[in-house]
A and B are shown apart, each in its own frame.
Chain A
């Protein structure tokens, strides 16, 4: 599979690597390219890719929380209608005081995506104009999509639980008790709690 060369995808990667420094990229499969760059270069990379290379459509923007490595990763997903190629641009942001520059003057829809990421992960976008409250109302705890937000604790304090739910949590143990068989070792490591 590695012998097949994807011509136009490789061309785009080469153009990007030659124009910017500290940028690494590769072709993942047909019609998909992945590029990693440091966060200071993001506004210039996005404008270059929109004007010169023809990636005029911004599909989505999302965020991944790497708790063990202690950084966030922001991913911009772009699509070019002429070349029919999808481009993923990735950056890494520090986990303490996360912030990055605002880019919604290039594409208007980034305002909505950035507001959602600000509410769910707590990343500040410097210079963005937008109301604070977007989806959650009167929320004063930690931003909920971070991995160290403990949902089980939060639910025990805030909401009621139906009586009789305790036995239903550990279904495998219940069935093993009732039928008299043992749970195999292989199945034990897939328990939820």
Chain B
């Protein structure tokens, strides 16, 4: 039996299967991926160099665009760095509001990941559901900070403004709605026989 030679495929920057902009050079033998090499730099802007030409207050407006699906952790890191250099303490209410904003942003990015992963695999119902549900969280953000995706809300010293009236009730309503939907996502994605057959045992990384 002759062994086939490995073919080189470029999972390139323009591809309907990847979510984002990167290139992976694959070596494929039949249906199995034998080797993979990444090639990055398609989105490089040089943020450290940009910050050299700006004040410490002007550069907090550009920090949120480092990571596009989840912009709030970048703002928090930058604010914490400036506060540590200054030695300033943040009031307690601001800490709680920051935690709330970070958790909402984490939920939104997980929902986007669900949609993107299933869309690449071929199950196109999932992106329609999750991206539509994620819009309810983005509506909450728009009420609080003024922008859907890039907030610029957490700055060195606390947050920019207080919560509006009745905000807690709306957050709880959205969470109740999402909790009911999570059961349906679970049934569609994780208990799906096709997904289990395709994904179990593939690309296993040892915790060691």
Question: Could you tell me if B40 and A151 are in contact, using CB atoms closer than 8 angstroms?
Answer: no
Given the complex, which residues of A lie within 8 Å of B54, measured CB to CB? 192
- B197 at the A/B interface (Cβ < 8 Å)? no
- B180 at the A/B interface (Cβ < 8 Å)? no
16 A–B contacts from the bound complex (CB under 8 Å): A134-B40, A134-B41, A135-B41, A135-B44, A136-B41, A136-B44, A137-B41, A144-B46, A144-B49, A145-B46, A145-B48, A145-B49, A149-B49, A151-B49, A192-B53, A192-B54
- B192 at the A/B interface (Cβ < 8 Å)? no
> Interface of B with A (CB < 8 Å)?
40-41, 44, 46, 48-49, 52-55
Rounded to whole Å, the gap between the CB of B67 and the closest CB of chain A is 16
Rounded to whole Å, the gap between the CB of A31 and the closest CB of chain B is 12
> Interface of A with B (CB < 8 Å)?
134-137, 144-145, 147, 149, 151, 190, 192
Rounded to whole Å, the gap between the CB of B61 and the closest CB of chain A is 15
Q: How far is the CA of A79 from the CA of B165 in the complex (A)?
A: 42
CB closest residue in chain A, given B40: A135
Q: How far is the CA of A136 from the CA of B54 in the complex (A)?
A: 23
The answer to whether residues A151 and B53 also contact, given A135-B44, A144-B46, A145-B48 and a CB cut-off of 8 A, is yes
Given the complex, which residues of B lie within 8 Å of A135, measured CB to CB? 40-41, 44
Given the complex, which residues of A lie within 8 Å of B46, measured CB to CB? 144-145
Q: How far is the CA of A120 from the CA of B111 in the complex (A)?
A: 35
Rounded to whole Å, the gap between the CB of A43 and the closest CB of chain B is 23
Rounded to whole Å, the gap between the CB of B8 and the closest CB of chain A is 16
Q: How far is the CA of A65 from the CA of B6 in the complex (A)?
A: 44
The answer to whether residues A190 and B55 also contact, given A135-B44, A136-B41, A136-B44 and a CB cut-off of 8 A, is yes
Given the complex, which residues of A lie within 8 Å of B44, measured CB to CB? 135-136
Q: How far is the CA of A149 from the CA of B41 in the complex (A)?
A: 20
Q: How far is the CA of A147 from the CA of B53 in the complex (A)?
A: 11
CB closest residue in chain B, given A146: B49
CB closest residue in chain A, given B49: A151
Given the complex, which residues of B lie within 8 Å of A151, measured CB to CB? 49, 53
Q: How far is the CA of A190 from the CA of B55 in the complex (A)?
A: 8
Given the complex, which residues of A lie within 8 Å of B41, measured CB to CB? 134-137
Task: Name the residue in B49, B53, B54, B55 with the highest tally of chain A Cβ atoms < 10 Å from its Cβ.
Answer: B49
CB closest residue in chain A, given B84: A29
Given the complex, which residues of B lie within 8 Å of A144, measured CB to CB? 46, 49
Given the complex, which residues of A lie within 8 Å of B48, measured CB to CB? 145
A-B residue pairs, 5 tightest by C-beta: A135-B41, A135-B44, A151-B49, A145-B48, A135-B40
Q: How far is the CA of A151 from the CA of B45 in the complex (A)?
A: 12
Q: How far is the CA of A135 from the CA of B49 in the complex (A)?
A: 15
CB closest residue in chain A, given B44: A135
Q: How far is the CA of A179 from the CA of B44 in the complex (A)?
A: 40
CB closest residue in chain A, given B55: A190
Given the complex, which residues of A lie within 8 Å of B55, measured CB to CB? 190
